[in-house]
Structure 1
Amino acid sequence: MLITMQNGFQLRVFSGFLLILLLISKLTFAEEVAVRLGFQKKPLKTLSTKLARNPSLRGWDYLVTKLAADNINPYILRKVYSSRRMPRFKPVEFKLKPREKAAVYSSVTNKKNLGKARAYLKKHKRTFHRVWQHFKVNPYVITAILLIETRFGTATGRSSVLHRLSRMASAADPDNIEHNYRKLKKEDPAVTLNDVRKRALELEEMFYPEIPALFEIAQKRKIDIFRIKGSYAGAFGIPQFLPTSYLKFGYDGNKDGIISLFNEIDAIWSVANYLSSYGWKDSAPLTLQKKVIWHYNHSQPYVDTVIKVAELLKNY
């Protein structure tokens, strides 16, 4: 909500405050919310201050409060997060310095998968040609990504995207920070509370924007937000985009008026649009091409596998 002042300036009102009053009856929670949203300062020495949980929100109080502060409709938030279709919030365990192992991608380059990739290139030859003319992104790197992500749409995931992303977006919930601190402290006595909080805030910064984006997609497409299914990590469709990537890079390749990442043509065009937007050039040095792929997935083993598969397909 905006209040227009006589001098022409506008003051944005903290719209989530109304939701807090409706959902939360204890002042201590409102104060804790103010701390976490940056309106108050408080030294991080202990996590003894607990959220005054509203049972109807099934543990999602922290996330709902932040979303309300960002002007997501309070009625919709309460309807969604109090629904029995939304699992209760459970602790989101994380590592301070996660690293993906190359072994995860060891089967990608086997004979069977490369055979499927070559068949895919042949099947969509015309589409890949049009894509290259428009975006100047070669078919091999696109095919490599689609192979690695979902085996060309045969494994897009059955998890609720809303649930999976909401979990990650709630990483900095005080109770979740405390849970991880106790767990990680047992594993490594050198771990500090600030270490855990810093990592939790990094995860929140990474995943929180995906929730408003997902609500926007559901509204624009007029679909039930609970029916959007994807991977355990919250990505969806053949190319496994996150909601913000769908909104930025989703492309209506088949010109039917609908951008569907579950449509092969749209998926191919969308990946090309993504790579092109980050500066992909077939003539660029390998180091620069790897940086572009890194935007798609922040994993060096992933980047190396994409390059390897693309080269194998190109030189076949």
Structure 2
Amino acid sequence: MIILIVSLLFFLPSLTYGNATLTLPANYQPLIERLSKDGFDSELLSKLFMDERAEIIPERMLISLRSKEKEAWYTPFLSPDSILLAKKFLHQNLKQLVQVEKRFNVDKEVIVAILLVESRFGENKGKHRVIPTLASMAIMDAPDNLQNNFLILKETEPELTYEWLENSAQRRANWAYHELKCFLTITHDERVDPLEVKGSYAGALGMPQFIPSSYMVFAISKGGFENWLSNKEEAILSIANYLNLHGWKKGMSMERKRKILWYYNHSDPYIETILKVAQKIKGK
């Protein structure tokens, strides 16, 4: 088993994309120019983004004012059926989980809780193509898109300022751009068609729902990226490695646990759900 730490390579694989549209979407042109300046091959990028599978997703370009997740979103994970499913997974994979718990000093129940909430043990790894998802988010700060969003949001939020909206969009777009670069690097290194990989609505991947940058640093894989996406053994190892490298230790305070889980997902309802599920699995 190796920790897969991928170095950033600034070019794309020599792949061909067979479902090309006739023209390159105008909104993608600045993105291609930016990626080219960062060392990616502009010709291959053009072919990639001309493919119909890379079509812009308007919903990902919307700028939402909703800043917090709702506790109710996570209620189903605390149901008796969900807890029973989690206990079954723990029992079926107990040997590995005990070994991983000892190796990484990470509670096995927390690993199981994360797998339940993130992908329901692989049942829901996401159905959105990662390339158009991240690319659409990376261009949400385009002037035309900002203006359209501002006019829409201003109707219900009269005190909203353009400056606030612009700053918010730029932060999110820069995050998505970084993740897009990481994803292109991963698929290059693994010789994978980037247009065939699917993930969450935000570009998270596999059973642990790692964003691309987290995969590059924290994923543990011996079978490669495509295998990792659906491999429960490597998902368990990767989550344990992630938590361990962020400072997790068995028996640590609840306050410290919350701080570490915040790195995994910046959501208080998410964090509380993980901790509650873990406690229920233990029978407490």
> What range is the shorter-chain TM-score in?
0.7 to 0.9
RMSD of aligned alpha carbons:
1.9
Structure 2 contact 154–160 (Cα < 8 Å) conserved: yes
Q: Distance in 1 between matches of 2:95 and 2:43?
A: 47
- Distance in 1 between the 2:144 and 2:29 partners? 11
**Uncovered stretches (5+) of structure 2, i.e. residues with no partner:** 1-9, 11-21
Whichever residue aligns with residue 272 of structure 2, its letter is D
The residue number in structure 2 matching 1:151 is: 120
In structure 2, the residue matched to 1:118 is 87
Aligned-partner SS, 1:246: helix
Report Cα offsets for 1:205-248 as digits up to 9, x if no partner: 32211111111111111111011111122111111111111111
Distance 1:256 1:107 in 2: 33
Quick one: distance in 2 between partners of 1:142 and 1:101?
A: 22
Deviation digits for residues 165-191 of structure 1 (CA, Å, limit 9, x no counterpart)? 111121211111111111121112211
SS in 1 for 2:239: helix
Q: What is the CA distance between 1:256 and its match in structure 2?
A: 4.5
TM-score scaled by structure 2?
0.87
Q: Does residue 1:194 correspond to 2:158, yes or no?
A: no
Give runs of aligned pairs for residues 226-237 of structure 1, distance below 5 A.
226-237=195-206
User: Could you tell me which residue of structure 2 aligns to residue 175 of structure 1?
Assistant: 144
Q: Residues 66-105 of structure 1: matches in 2 within 5 Å?
A: 66-88=34-56, 90=58, 92-105=61-74
Find runs of 4+ consecutive structure 1 residues off by over 4 angstroms.
Answer: 255-259
Describe how 1:193-232 pairs up with structure 2 within 5 A.
Answer: 193-232=162-201
Please list, as runs of the form range in 1=range in 2, the aligned pairs for 1:41-80 lying within 5 A after superposition. 55-80=23-48
Structure 2 letter corresponding to 1:208: Y
Identity %: 33
Where structure 1 has 5 or more consecutive residues not aligned to the other structure, the ranges are: 1-14, 16-53
Q: Which has the larger radius of gyration?
A: 1
TM-score by length of structure 1 reads: 0.79
The match for 1:50 is none
Letter in 2 for 1:307: L
Distance 2:82 2:57 in 1: 37
Give the number of the structure whose residues are more often helix, by fraction. Answer: 2
Flag the structure with more relative contact order, 1 or 2, with Cα contacts below 8 A and sequence separation at least 6. Answer: 2
CA deviation string 1:8-47 (max 9, x = no partner) = xxxxxxx9xxxxxxxxxxxxxxxxxxxxxxxxxxxxxxxx
Change (3 A) 1:109 1:89: closer
